[in-house]
Structure 1
């Protein structure tokens, strides 16, 4: 979830119940200044993370996904946002995925869109169906981020570079790939950058991809590259911009990996985006179904 700690005003379109887990979620969102637009009536979903010796996490899920009842406020939120992000289970698990798809389609005229497939084979084992869903959301997005694990599962018969190029052809301005300790790659029609992961002692990897995504969006906000009027700016990012974005998001992921749990860095830890023509203050952002 993307909160005001990275300078972005944010609403989260979600589902949780008035139960102990839901109250924990509600309190965490409130403490981080994130507005919640809540639909559905089933119990709060849970994900249990089990850590392997190297700090990598495996997940087991008890999940329901339905934002019925939140459609009108959710639509109002995306229509008043400069950027909307979606991904993971919310884009594949029915019946809520249909609502998410509608919100993304409605947001295109008002906002830039980002997408992170964050594939979970345990909840969507149909790889062909997941691939179809992913390509639909890639085509509807301006910014796409995926992990090497995502691409290996979705496209086992081609290289990650081939998939990034194919996704770029579907329409996005920017494709970012995270590769754990090997670091990120960012690809646009005008250039490509890659860098190694930062050297850290890993506590665990929970939340690293989300931290990378949040910092990428924050960095783009500082570059004035979010929002429908900024699409031309987004498509014209320079090699210097891409290098700065990769370093900024890489640092956010590394800080998250250096401490237990999904504990992303605050803007005071990251500092401003450097090495580009970034604005000193990012634009406000809202919306994450």
Structure 2
């Protein structure tokens, strides 16, 4: 099996490094139709989504040297995402069962260990202006500890975004999950979550109170997606809520990841990423945020209109419409 080599630091700089899990989504309907394999994993989907929108991207992940791993390597190469990989376990899998409305429930078989990739990951961070992480990578040990340490130490080198994308079937201790989420929120500039994430993490708080709590931990921007009801965003200066686009849904696999990727890409297009832009990000105005949210909504809608985690290309979505 011919796996490509690891990231080589002398290949040049990049805009974005994503740190997180790669896996194979094995998708079937409730009627137990034949399984279809798709490359997935929330951070991987974000990396691919960003690369498709013109952001030069690397992914720090774990991929096994097996047939599923080869699918992931091929998929990343096809989408121009460089890869840094560590660990020796088999490639992780997630079996998604689709309900009649296109929603997905998951069962996982996974491993998350980056101990052998820390130095290569740090070399990648040193040439990145923005870093992203989320989901299983920030909850499952021992890799979650490695991810946090790397990002914490890189905070002065890059802006950071985070999407908890909680998986209660994997991390069942909500107190632990809440603690982990708050650790990562505290080192992040941009946080995106779903309403389901916040309802699970904070069952005794409203969505708005949970968002305010996260904003007080340090980020410039907290966004919560509410499916067909659209996103709500909170900064230190204002609250903004938008409706979702009206679409025919094929399934919702990867919709949140596509939203996250387009959010990063739009902020990059508006030159709002990187440590020198933290003050600008903190003072984002309503017109800028409207443009960014509309861009992310359109990206998510395109993904929902077709099967699997298949985010749009730049040619489909275009560039963000910058405010006058």
TM-score range, shorter chain: over 0.9
Do 1:11 and 1:36's aligned partners in 2 also have CA atoms closer than 8 Å? yes
Q: Which runs of 5+ in 2 are unaligned?
A: 1-43
Q: Which residue of 2 aligns with 1:281?
A: none
Matched, 1:45 2:106: no
Q: Report the RMSD for the aligned CA atoms in angstroms.
A: 0.8
Aligned partner (choices 122, 129, 138) of residue 82 of structure 1: 129
State the distance in 1 between where 2:133 and 2:304 align: 22
Q: Which residue of 2 aligns with 1:190?
A: 237
Q: Which runs of 4+ in 1 moved over 4 A?
A: none
Aligned partner (choices 281, 286, 293) of residue 239 of structure 1: 286
Matched, 1:223 2:270: yes
Do 1:75 and 1:106's aligned partners in 2 also have CA atoms closer than 8 Å? no
Q: Which residue of 2 aligns with 1:174?
A: 221
1:8-51: per-residue Cα shift (whole Å, max 9, x none)?
Answer: 11110000111010000000000101011000000000011111
State the distance in 1 between where 2:103 and 2:150 align: 33
Do 2:58 and 2:84's aligned partners in 1 also have CA atoms closer than 8 Å? yes
Q: Which residue of 1 aligns with 2:312?
A: 265
Q: Which residue of 1 aligns with 2:19?
A: none
Q: Which residue of 2 aligns with 1:286?
A: none
Q: 1:240 Cα shift?
A: 0.3
- SS, match of residue 69 in structure 1: helix
Q: Which residue of 1 aligns with 2:178?
A: 131
State the distance in 1 between where 2:238 and 2:322 align: 16
Do 1:142 and 1:172's aligned partners in 2 also have CA atoms closer than 8 Å? yes
Q: 1:269 Cα shift?
A: 1.0
Matched, 1:254 2:301: yes
State the distance in 2 between where 1:218 and 1:190 align: 23
Q: Which runs of 5+ in 1 are unaligned?
A: 278-289
1:97-108 alignment runs, 5 A limit: 97-108=144-155
Do 2:60 and 2:84's aligned partners in 1 also have CA atoms closer than 8 Å? yes
Q: 1:275 Cα shift?
A: 4.6
Larger strand proportion of the pair: 2
Aligned residues: 277
State the distance in 1 between where 2:237 and 2:319 align: 24
Do 2:270 and 2:322's aligned partners in 1 also have CA atoms closer than 8 Å? no
TM-score (norm 1): 0.94
Q: Which residue of 2 aligns with 1:285?
A: none
Do 1:87 and 1:117's aligned partners in 2 also have CA atoms closer than 8 Å? yes
Q: Which residue of 1 aligns with 2:54?
A: 7
1:194-209 alignment runs, 5 A limit: 194-209=241-256
Q: 1:271 Cα shift?
A: 0.9
State the distance in 1 between where 2:242 and 2:162 align: 22
Q: Which residue of 2 aligns with 1:120?
A: 167
Higher relative contact order (CA 8 A, sep 6+): 1
- SS, match of residue 251 in structure 1: helix
Q: Which residue of 1 aligns with 2:321?
A: 274
